[in-house]
């Protein structure tokens, strides 16, 4: 009989732009796992070539310029969303690859003549991270992972993340809210706790969360954000200024040349990053294009002050969500005891300055902002393994859960911000004689108007005893587990016999597809990263 290998625990920050994996060393300390090239984060980018070649991370990013239609990124923003979701409609216009409607109505992407779910693409990123861990830890598997998700992710988006992990062959020990992970990563519980503001500016989004940390217990009390503000916007500002200059000074229309534009964007991002450390940087692109038959070599010195002025309005926009989160928490800035900065963009001095000014406090600088979330996820592994005993994580439901009352209104069953795990129940009765089935529509959201909430599933309770209308009473139990995932059970009150229950989810991958994709993933060749 083959020996069962012991699972290793890893913490994963599955980011929109970059991802990161960490573990706990022998002494119980979290550490980031670097890849072979010494990189500590992996771009969340996947390039698919034909049916079998899969590139992830830096090699995939290099394909983005020349093969934009088969190089996929920003999957986290599509995962678990409907095709007609306004956020998806907005994104579709900005993404260079095709976002298409799956038969289920979900937002998927097109690769050649095939539709692929964002879960499947994200699974390649997770698989690459698993590969990094495998190599660094000299451990083939199995792996158990704590994976982070935005605090506002609804149940469908959380389930989609779990499905992506299952396809990648990872067992999910826990889904952890990103702000909670960041606070853990910064070790907030070690220095007194209090009210924390976690500001996360990544590649595509800005999230602000207010946490209460007390006696080692972490609770997210409010979140706000701007889902259309991130590092990509800063890059675009630089690109559009340089493009205008190129037009005037050299008569070169870089916006009409996709390859040149891709190269300019890449160099603009590098210069933006360098300007976080130095006051000026240079952009050099040999043979950017040809103008009137002559080769154009591009050289431009970019100053930090220029970057700040190009992006001044973007920096101003950081204020709204900070004030929004404070208002939602019912707090004034002076009630905040710590400001934690998360996401690569908070390395930009003007960004950090702005957040510190609005929140009236210097930010903690003891951890790398782009690693704090993964470090926090690994710390959660240590908590679950019993290596860290002075912390209790209390996460809360991101949205309320309720059912359709029959008159277009939502009846809440589990409120928003309830500490998980939690449960709620409701007694339902039949409305017709000999009614053998009861169907309920389950929604997530707080709006009393049904349409403004997210439809999660249709639940059919069957095999009810046949009798007069109103005589059958069914107790329906809703549970939300620590990962924020909903479970439903039901029993008939008279006989206490469990009723049959069928849940038809309105979004996401069926279990059978997840299992099939996991088998395919395990059987297919290695990915290039
Ligand atoms: P994240 O998703 O947290 O990795 O954030 C990615 C964003 O941070 C991208 O827009 C990067 O260009 C940006 N970024 C990474 N490092 C730096 C840096 N040193 N200075 C400014 N922006 C950075």
Closest CA to 420 of 330, 485, 361: 485
Q: Which domains are present in the chain?
A: 8-228+325-395+515-523 (3.30.420.40), 231-312 (3.90.640.10), 401-498 (2.60.34.10)
Q: Is 370 in the pocket of ligand 1 (CB under 6 A)?
A: yes
Confirm or reject: Cβ of 178 under 6 Å from ligand 1. Answer: no
Reference 47, options 106, 128, 101; nearest CA is 128
pLDDT score at 14:
97
Check if 269 has its Cβ closer than 6 Å to any atom of ligand 1: yes
Span 430-452, pLDDT tens digits: 889 999 999 999 999 988 888 88
| Tens-digit pLDDT profile for residues 309-364 | 999 999 999 999 999 999 989 999 999 999 999 999 999 999 999 999 999 999 99
Q: What is the reported pLDDT for 230?
A: 93
Q: How far is the CA of 263 from the centre of ligand 1 (A)?
A: 18
Q: What pLDDT digit, counting tens, does each position of 464-496 carry?
A: 988 899 989 999 999 999 998 999 999 888 876
Q: Mean pLDDT lowest for which of 109-123, 187-201, 285-299? A: 187-201
Is the pLDDT score of 69 beyond 90?
yes
DSSP string, 44-95: --EEEETTTEEEESHHHHHHTTT-GGGEE--HHHHTT-BTT-HHHHHHHHH-
Residue 2 has pLDDT above 60, yes or no: no
% pLDDT > 70, the chain: 99
Protein residue whose Cα sits closest to atom 2 of ligand 1: 202
> Which residue, by CA, sits nearest to atom 18 of ligand 1?
273
Q: Give the separation between CA 265 and CA 308, rounded to whole angstroms.
A: 17
- Phi, psi dihedral angles at 373 (to 5 degrees): -70, -45
Confidence grade of residue 192 (pLDDT, cut at 50, 70, 90): confident
**Catalytic residues, which ones?**
13, 76, 178, 200
User: Which atom of ligand 1 lies at the shortest distance from residue 20's CA?
Assistant: 4
The pLDDT tens digits of the residues spanning 155-171 come to 999 999 999 999 999 99
What does residue 459 show for φ and ψ, rounded to 5 degrees? Answer: -115, 125
CB 273 near ligand 1, within 6 Å: yes
Q: Residues 133-150: what's their mean pLDDT?
A: 95
| Residue to probe by mutation, ligand 1, list 231, 233, 349, most atoms within 8 Å of CB | 231
Q: Does pLDDT of 125 surpass 60?
A: yes
Which tokens go with 259? 């390859």
Judge whether 169 and 522 are in contact, CB under 8 Å: yes
What spacing in Å lies between the alpha carbon of 226 and ligand 1's midpoint?
A: 17
The dihedral of CA 39, 40, 45, 48: what is its sign? positive
Q: Is 39 in the pocket of ligand 1 (CB under 6 A)?
A: no
Instruction: Evaluate: CB of 21 within 6 angstroms of ligand 1.
Output: no
Q: How far apart are CA 451 and CA 407, in angstroms?
A: 12
Mean pLDDT of the chain: 92
The stretches of 349-389 forming alpha helices (DSSP H) are: 349-359, 372-384
Q: How confident is the model at residue 1 (pLDDT cuts 50, 70, 90)?
A: very low
Among 164-168, 393-397, 507-511, which stretch is predicted with the lowest mean pLDDT? 393-397
Q: What pLDDT score does 3 carry?
A: 54
Q: Whose CA is nearest to atom 10 of ligand 1?
A: 231
Q: Tell me, using a 6 A CB cutoff, whether residue 276 lines ligand 1.
A: yes
Cross-sheet strand order for the sheet of 473-480: 422-429, 473-480, 486-492
Tell me the per-residue pLDDT of 20-45, one tens digit each, with 9 for 90 and over: 999 998 888 899 999 999 999 999 99
Measured in Å, residue 468 CA sits from the centre of ligand 1 at 64
The CB of 347 under 6 Å from ligand 1? The reply is: yes
Q: Is the CB of 348 under 6 A from ligand 1?
A: yes
135 Cα to the center of ligand 1, angstroms:
26
**Greater model confidence, 8 or 418:** 8
| 345 Cα to the center of ligand 1, angstroms | 4
Does the Cβ of 344 fall within 6 Å of ligand 1?
yes
Query: What is the maximum span of the chain, computed from C-alpha positions, in angstroms?
Result: 88
CA 21 – ligand 1 centroid, Å: 17
Contact between 490 and 475 under an 8 Å Cβ cutoff? The reply is yes
Determine which residue's CA is closest to atom 16 belonging to ligand 1.
344
List strands edge to edge, sheet with 53-56: 53-56, 46-49, 71-72
Please tell me the predicted confidence (pLDDT) of residue 271.
97
Report whether pLDDT(377) > 60: yes
Q: Is the CB of 15 under 6 A from ligand 1?
A: yes
Which residue is closest in CA terms to ligand 1's atom 14? Answer: 344
Q: From the CA of 344, how far away is ligand 1's center (Å)?
A: 3
pLDDT band at residue 370 under the 50/70/90 scheme: very high
| Residue, of 52 and 405, whose pLDDT is higher | 52
Burial class (CB in 10 A: 0-12, 13-18, 19+), 43: buried
Which ligand 1 atom is the nearest neighbour of the CA of 15?
A: 2
Give me ligand 1 centre to Cα 17, in Å. Answer: 9
């Amino acid at each position: 009989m083959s020996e069962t290998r012991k699972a290793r625990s890893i913490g994963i920050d599955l980011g929109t732009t970059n991802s990161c994996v960490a573990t706990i060393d022998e002494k119980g300390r979290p550490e980031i796992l670097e890849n072979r090239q010494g990189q500590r984060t992996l771009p969340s980018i996947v390039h698919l070539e034909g049916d079998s070649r899969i590139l992830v991370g830096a090699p995939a990013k290099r394909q983005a310029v020349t093969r934009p239609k088969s190089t996929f990124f920003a999957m986290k923003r599509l995962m678990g969303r409907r095709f007609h979701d306004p956020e998806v409609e907005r994104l579709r216009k900005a993404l260079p690859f095709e976002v298409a409607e799956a038969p289920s109505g979900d937002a998927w992407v097109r690769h050649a003549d095939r539709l692929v779910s964002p879960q499947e693409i994200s699974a390649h990123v997770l698989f690459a991270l698993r590969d990094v861990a495998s190599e660094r830890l000299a451990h083939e598997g199995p792996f158990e992972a704590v994976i982070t998700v935005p605090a506002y992710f609804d149940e469908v988006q959380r389930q989609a993340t779990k499905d992506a992990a299952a396809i990648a062959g990872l067992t999910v020990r826990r889904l952890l809210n990103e702000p909670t992970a960041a606070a853990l990563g910064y070790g907030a519980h070690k220095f007194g706790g209090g009210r924390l503001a976690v500001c996360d500016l990544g590649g595509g989004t800005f999230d602000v969360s207010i946490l209460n940390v007390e006696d080692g217990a972490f609770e997210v009390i409010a979140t706000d954000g701007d889902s259309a503000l991130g590092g990509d916007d800063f890059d675009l500002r630089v690109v559009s200024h340089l493009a205008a200059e190129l037009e005037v000074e050299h008569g070169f229309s870089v916006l009409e040349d996709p390859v040149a534009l891709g190269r300019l964007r890449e160099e603009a991002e590098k210069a933006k990053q360098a300007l976080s450390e130095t006051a000026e940087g240079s952009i050099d692109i040999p043979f950017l294009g040809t103008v009137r038959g002559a080769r154009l070599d591009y050289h431009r010195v970019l100053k930090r002050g220029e970057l700040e002025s190009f992006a001044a309005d973007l920096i101003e926009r950081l204020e709204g969500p900070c004030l929004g989160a404070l208002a939602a928490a019912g707090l004034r800035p002076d009630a905040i005891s710590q400001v934690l900065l998360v996401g690569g963009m908070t390395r930009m001095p003007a960004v950090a300055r702005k957040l510190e000014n609005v929140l009236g406090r210097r930010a903690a600088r003891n951890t790398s902002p782009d690693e704090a979330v993964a470090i926090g996820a690994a710390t959660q592994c240590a908590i679950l393994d019993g290596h860290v005993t002075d912390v209790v994580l209390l996460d809360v439901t991101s949205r309320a859960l309720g059912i359709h009352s029959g008159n277009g209104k939502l009846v809440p069953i589990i409120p928003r911000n309830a500490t998980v795990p939690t449960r709620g129940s409701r007694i339902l009765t039949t409305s017709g004689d000999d009614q053998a089935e009861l169907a309920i529509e389950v929604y997530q959201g707080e709006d009393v108007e049904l349409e403004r909430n997210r439809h999660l599933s249709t639940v059919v309770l069957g095999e009810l005893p046949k009798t007069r209308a109103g005589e059958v009473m069914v107790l329906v139990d809703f549970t939300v587990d620590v990962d924020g995932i909903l479970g439903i059970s039901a029993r008939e009150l008279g006989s206490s016999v469990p009723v049959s229950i069928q849940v038809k989810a309105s979004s996401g991958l069926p279990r059978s597809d997840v299992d099939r994709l996991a088998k395919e993933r395990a059987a297919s060749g290695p990915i290039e990263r």
